Amino acid sequence: MRVRLRQIVVDAREPRVLVRFWAGLLGGEPVDRERGWSHVEPPDAARMAFQPVPEDRAGKNRLHLDLAVADIDAAVALAVSLGATPAGGTVTDEQGSFRVMRDPEGNEFCFVD
């Protein structure tokens, strides 16, 4: 038996808004579905789906995405232009460099090189 990652589901207050942020960042066309759901299928990545929830995100994410980029500063500029906010500066350690970001609903993700 083989288990395969099909999609990553994110709780969202406004799925139709959040899917457009992620589509702009990762590529792919945003799709709005029934019952308020939206999704995007980025090239060479798992589908990201956004399900409507009534509450705002509270507390720290228990899971976040590490997004590989060739230029962290350029990726930050793109993400900010789409509605993200930086959460601190670039950190470099023995694994390389990374920068923590928050999407328009406050979900954390990292750009890594």
Sequence-ordered strand ranges (E) for the chain: 7-12, 31-32, 38-40, 47-52, 65-68, 85-86, 91-93, 96-102, 108-112
pLDDT averages per 10-residue partition of the chain, 113 residues = 94 97 98 97 96 88 93 98 97 95 96 97
Distance CA 58, CA 52 (A): 15
Instruction: Give, in words, the CATH class of 7-112.
Output: alpha beta
Confidence (pLDDT) at 62:
85
pTM of the entire structure? 0.93
CA 73 to chain centre: 17
